[in-house]
Amino acid sequence: MSTLSALKNKSNSLNKLTKALDNLSSNGNKKDERLWKPEVDKAGNGYAIIRFLDTPQVDGEDGMPWVQIFSHSFQGPGGWLIDNCPTTIGQSCPVNIAVAA
């Protein structure tokens, strides 16, 4: 059975995904206008290749088919810091601690 067929057969996956997205948007997250949108022609048709990912085994039945990544980027006296935040993988972050203080 293909991955797409397996995703289609999960009856609750769309409901779980919709609920998780609603929870994210209700927690004060705003729509990011920097996200890519396909260009459309005069008829209003757009084109994109979308790759569907299966839920990672490590997440189990409650896993979601996306990864949320937090990152920091700012310029200090020593140059730029552009890095993923350790809270992405459940570790404490010295930047978040400094900002909260």
Mean pLDDT (the chain, rounded): 75
Domains of the chain: total: 2
42 domain residue, yes or no:
no
Predicted model pTM: 0.37
The pLDDT of residue 35 is 74
93 domain residue, yes or no:
yes
Which residue reads 């935040």 in tokens?
85
Domain ranges, residue 1? 1-30
Q: What is the rounded distance in angstroms from the CA atom of residue 25 to the CA atom of residue 98?
A: 26
Question: pLDDT tens across 20-65, in order?
Answer: 777 776 656 566 677 777 888 899 888 888 887 666 666 666 667 6
Q: Give the pLDDT band (50/70/90) at residue 94.
A: confident
74 domain residue, yes or no:
yes
